[in-house]
């Protein structure tokens, strides 16, 4: 049965389909069974849903994050769509193609990996090049790198997110190496490629995004350092000082001890990498939050952004919307 996606549902038309069940709440009623409210999701979006009958039994073996098979119909409630569930059961493993459910970066990982390979081919320092070519030729690493998210959070995490973030930081670092000639370009670029590689061992992405035990106990900075150092040791005559400068960039890229780096940046490349990574993350967070969370009652402003602890302003522009968005609705933002 072809997967029917959230974005394809038609109001009033009964369907049988598979979704990821996020947030399940069962609530009491005085008479009869409890009812349930759920969020149904797949990679195209998510939808509030309600199940009025049989919800107690149907949900008793469910955990949040399970894929479920539902029968029901899309209606609307208070002007927003709501799915009413008639029947529901846990999906069988063979019914599920995980890629249908987890959000995925819009960028093609093969294209991104090809970009990285081209960057690596352009390096002049032979040991760094050999190290990176080795990683990019390792099927296990490639597989993880093209799948891993960049973070656990439901909202900011997508399959392929780590690779997308990495390529964006690498691009910025190449610009900065051009702008500041004192920078050792090859070390900065290599460090940009490797700085978050430990996340492939810090996170899992097979059902929902979460931390591994090693991720919680050691963290991606230490896991990445262990991974890269072992690779370096396997390359004959890798210069000791070069290894230390590269590992230092990984170790210090959070910039301050209280942000999880056991050492603060002490080389020019480590300083530049820290700023590049931080800025790139902030720009992407801004652009995504403006898209996902404008304040409907206040043109030009977003809702409150918890991680930045402030409201963000995107209004007062002639174009009125961040680039890439259709200009419709720009009247509101004046």
User: Which listed residue (206, 258, 326, 328) binds a copy of itself by CB under 8 A?
Assistant: 258
Cα gap 84→49, rounded to integer Å: 6
Does residue number 179 form part of the binding site for a copy of itself (CB under 8 A)?
Answer: yes
Of 5-13, 136-144, 152-160, 266-274, the segment contacting a copy of itself by CB under 8 A is: 266-274
Question: Shortest gap between Cβ of 223 and a copy of itself (angstroms)?
Answer: 10
Residues 199-228 that bind a copy of itself (CB under 8 A): 213-214, 216-219, 221-222, 225-226
> Two tokens at 334?
């004046």
Of the pair 44, 330, the CB lying nearest a copy of itself is at 330
Residues 100-159 that bind a copy of itself (CB under 8 A): none
* First CA to last CA distance, the chain: 47
Of 6-14, 98-106, 156-164, 315-323, the segment contacting a copy of itself by CB under 8 A is: 315-323
Residues 275-294 that bind a copy of itself (CB under 8 A): 275, 278-279, 282-283, 286-287
Contact between 169 and 197 under an 8 Å Cβ cutoff? The reply is: no
Contact between 36 and 25 under an 8 Å Cβ cutoff? The reply is: yes
Cα gap 285→288, rounded to integer Å: 5
Of the pair 57, 121, the CB lying nearest a copy of itself is at 57
Give the closest residue to 284 by CA, choosing from 150, 182, 190: 150
Does residue number 312 form part of the binding site for a copy of itself (CB under 8 A)?
Answer: yes
Burial 161-198 (b: 16+ CB within 10 A, else e): bbbbbbbbbbbbbbebbeeeeebbbbbbbbbbbbbbbb
Question: Shortest gap between Cβ of 288 and a copy of itself (angstroms)?
Answer: 10
Alpha helices in 210-319 (DSSP H): 213-217, 219-233, 240-252, 268-292
Of 14-22, 108-116, 128-136, 182-190, the segment contacting a copy of itself by CB under 8 A is: 182-190
Cα gap 303→87, rounded to integer Å: 36
Of the pair 114, 257, the CB lying nearest a copy of itself is at 257
Of the pair 134, 299, the CB lying nearest a copy of itself is at 299
Does residue number 79 form part of the binding site for a copy of itself (CB under 8 A)?
Answer: yes
Site string for a copy of itself, 223-252 (x = CB under 8 A): --xx--xx--x-----x-xx-xx-xx--x-
Residues 21-60 that bind a copy of itself (CB under 8 A): 26, 28-30, 34-35, 50, 52, 56, 60
Cα gap 251→255, rounded to integer Å: 9
Of 7-15, 38-46, 90-98, 269-277, the segment contacting a copy of itself by CB under 8 A is: 269-277
Does residue number 304 form part of the binding site for a copy of itself (CB under 8 A)?
Answer: no
Cα gap 5→101, rounded to integer Å: 9
Cα gap 173→196, rounded to integer Å: 14
**Which residues contact residue 279 at a Cβ distance below 8 angstroms, ignoring those fewer than 6 apart?**
172
Of 38-46, 107-115, 159-167, 267-275, the segment contacting a copy of itself by CB under 8 A is: 267-275
Question: Considering CB under 8 A, how many residues would be counted as binding a copy of itself?
Answer: 81
Pairing of β 80-90 and β 45-51: parallel
For Cα atoms 261, 267, 273, give the angle at the middle one, nearest 5 degrees.
60
Of 114-122, 127-135, 150-158, 180-188, the segment contacting a copy of itself by CB under 8 A is: 180-188
């Amino acid at each position: 049965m072809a997967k029917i996606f959230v974005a394809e549902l038609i109001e009033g038309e009964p369907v049988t389909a598979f979704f990821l069940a996020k947030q399940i709440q069962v609530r009491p009623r005085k008479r009869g069974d409890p009812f349930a409210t759920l969020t149904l999701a797949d990679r195209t979006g998510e939808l509030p849903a309600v199940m009025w009958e049989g919800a107690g039994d149907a949900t008793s073996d469910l955990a949040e994050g399970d894929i479920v098979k539902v029968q029901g119909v899309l209606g609307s409630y208070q002007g927003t769509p709501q799915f009413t569930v008639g029947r529901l059961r846990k999906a069988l493993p063979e019914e599920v193609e995980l890629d249908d459910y987890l959000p995925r970066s819009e960028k093609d990982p093969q294209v991104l990996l090809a970009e990285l390979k081209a960057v690596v081919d352009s390096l002049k320092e032979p040991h760094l090049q050999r190290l990176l070519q080795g990683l990019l030729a390792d099927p296990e690493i490639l597989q993880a790198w093209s799948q891993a998210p960049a973070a656990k959070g439901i909202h900011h995490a997508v399959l392929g997110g780590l690779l997308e973030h990495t390529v964006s930081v690498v691009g910025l670092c190449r610009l900065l190496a051009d702008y500041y000639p004192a920078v050792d370009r090859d070390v900065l670029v290599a460090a940009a490629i490797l700085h978050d590689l430990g996340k492939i061992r810090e996170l899992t992405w097979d059902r929902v995004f979460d931390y591994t035990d090693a991720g919680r106990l050691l963290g991606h900075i230490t896991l990445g350092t262990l991974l890269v150092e072992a690779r370096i040791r396997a390359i004959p005559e890798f210069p000791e000082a070069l290894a230390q400068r590269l590992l230092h960039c990984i170790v210090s890229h959070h910039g301050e001890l209280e942000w999880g780096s056991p050492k603060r940046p002490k080389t020019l490349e480590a300083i530049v990498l820290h700023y590049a990574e931080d800025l790139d993350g902030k720009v992407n967070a801004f652009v995504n939050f403006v898209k996902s969370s404008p304040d409907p009652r206040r043109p030009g402003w977003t809702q409150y952004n918890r991680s930045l602890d402030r409201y963000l302003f995107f209004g007062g522009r002639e174009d009125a919307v961040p680039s890439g968005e259709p200009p419709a609705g720009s009247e509101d933002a004046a």
